[in-house]
Amino acid sequence: MKIPKRLARFAWPAVALATVLTVVGVVPRFSFSRDGAIWSERAPGSAPVAMTQAPAWVEIAKTVKPAVVNVSVRGVERKAEGPAEELMERFGRSPKRTLRGMGTGFVINADGYVVTNNHVVDGASEIRVKFSDGRELVGKVVGQDEKTDLALVKVEATGLPVIPMGDSSKLEVGEPVMAIGNPFGLEQTVTTGIVSATGRTIGAGPYDDFIQTDASINPGNSGGPLVNTRGEVVGVNTMIASGTGGSVGIGFAIPTNLAKPVVSQLAQSGHVVRGWLGVSIQPVTKDLATSFGLPATTGALVGSVSADSPASRAGFKSGDVVTRYDGKAIERWSDLPRAVAETTLNRDVPIDIVRDGKKMTLTAKIARLEEQDKRAEAATEQAATKLGLSGRTLTPGLAQQLGVSQTKGVVVEQVEEGGRAQNAGIATGDVIVEVDRQPIAGVEGLQQALKRHPTNTPVLLLVHREGRTLYVSVA
């Protein structure tokens, strides 16, 4: 499955664009100061593109296409590794292949800031951004965020045409939208469709909140804008679900309300700092709601609490159901990670939970996510040393990606050639769920079990593999 990586539209000269924008009533203004925003917005009092019985797609296309650019990249060949990358290939998003080709981006600020997908520019040694007037400028990556698959690229230019960023929270299912891109190298292709769904969680990352659309998106569309009937970007086209490599009417876009804070941080510091609570969560199904005595399936069910985390210090326990975070209701379980990620560090946040049928409020001081990442990475390296493998903690989202029923364990991502694990038959994609007949919740549990295991004796692992469970003895 090829990644949808290209969008191409060239920018009209600034004077011509200003004329067109004035005619159709879309006059953006630019701001670097308001809340750190670098994207454009409509001038106060300006009218959107007029609509009567049908969207004015012709005028909208004329307005926004000049700000859609062709991003061509060159780089080294990178081979896909591990089950997470294999999953991304299933969704038409294989970021670790030969980096030579074209993707898409769109200008969000007149001074040369271009938004695209991270997988379009990740690992690229050369980036060139081409505009409709024939200019081809060198692009430089300002910042990248792998977790949301967003990147910000800068070109040395001023007075560029831009597309205003809209409010994706106002999108409704059935609403018409337009996608613009460079599918299969066919530059500046415009397709239209509707919003098929919002809030899609497909296991692509910890902050899944995709817009699903049936507007035709194909390889080459990645990084391009999904535009509403007001001529505003409401999503960044990023992947497709397809068994053929082409569009089957199931495309996904990152909503702008998720992209805005990420883009702002990338512009300011080149990276994204996120909050960390320290819990693994899962959806509250009807059966679970009945078992826990809950009146509805809203909220996020806590599966485990990380040691020495903000959650553990606040008194969280497995089985707690988070219903409100910082005064805002948690309607879907996936709302919680995004809310935590956007929280200011070291801030005390009230969190409402239900425990054993009783409501209570806990207060957690949110820490920095990267600190947890480093601890997990260190534990993974130790696991590789002990058994000749490396992996990561299985989460409900990753379990969904891999299609496994377990929600706890360690997913094997690499196996050392000629090492103990390989000799025992352990393979990439295996999920280790027990060590010496004791269940493990993740990498930390694996490490503790290996420390307790007697030296110079085989380690008994219970492994889930392709729908079956088997014991493996690692000598």
Active site (catalytic) residues: 119, 149, 222
Cα distance between residue 82 and residue 74, in whole Å: 24
Distances in whole angstroms, Cα of residue 313 to Cα of each of 58, 72, 292, 361:
57, 48, 24, 14
| CA dist., res. 433 & res. 470, Å (int) | 10
Backbone angles phi, psi at 189, to 5 degrees: -80, 135
Token pair of 445 as six digits? 């549990």
Residue 310's CB is within 10 A of a number of other CB atoms, namely 26
Structure tokens, 130: 């081409």
Instruction: Classify residue 167 by burial, with Cβ atoms within 10 Å: 0-12, 13-18, 19+.
Output: middle
Neighbours of 65 (CB within 10 A): 23
Helix (H) or strand (E) holding 212: strand 210-213
Quote the tokens at residue 71: 């991003």
Q: Which two tokens stand for residue 240?
A: 């497709």
From the number of C-beta atoms within 10 Å of its C-beta (0-12, 13-18, 19+), residue 176 rates as middle
Residue 200 forms beta bridges with which residues? 210
**R_g (Cα) of the chain, nearest Å:** 24
The rounded distance, in Å, linking the Cα atoms of 276 and 364 is 10
Helices (H), 388-442: 396-402, 420-424
Which region holds residue 325: left if phi is over 0, alpha if psi is between -120 and 50, else beta?
beta
User: 144-159 burial, b for 16+ CB within 10 Å, e for fewer?
Assistant: bbebbbbbbbbbebee
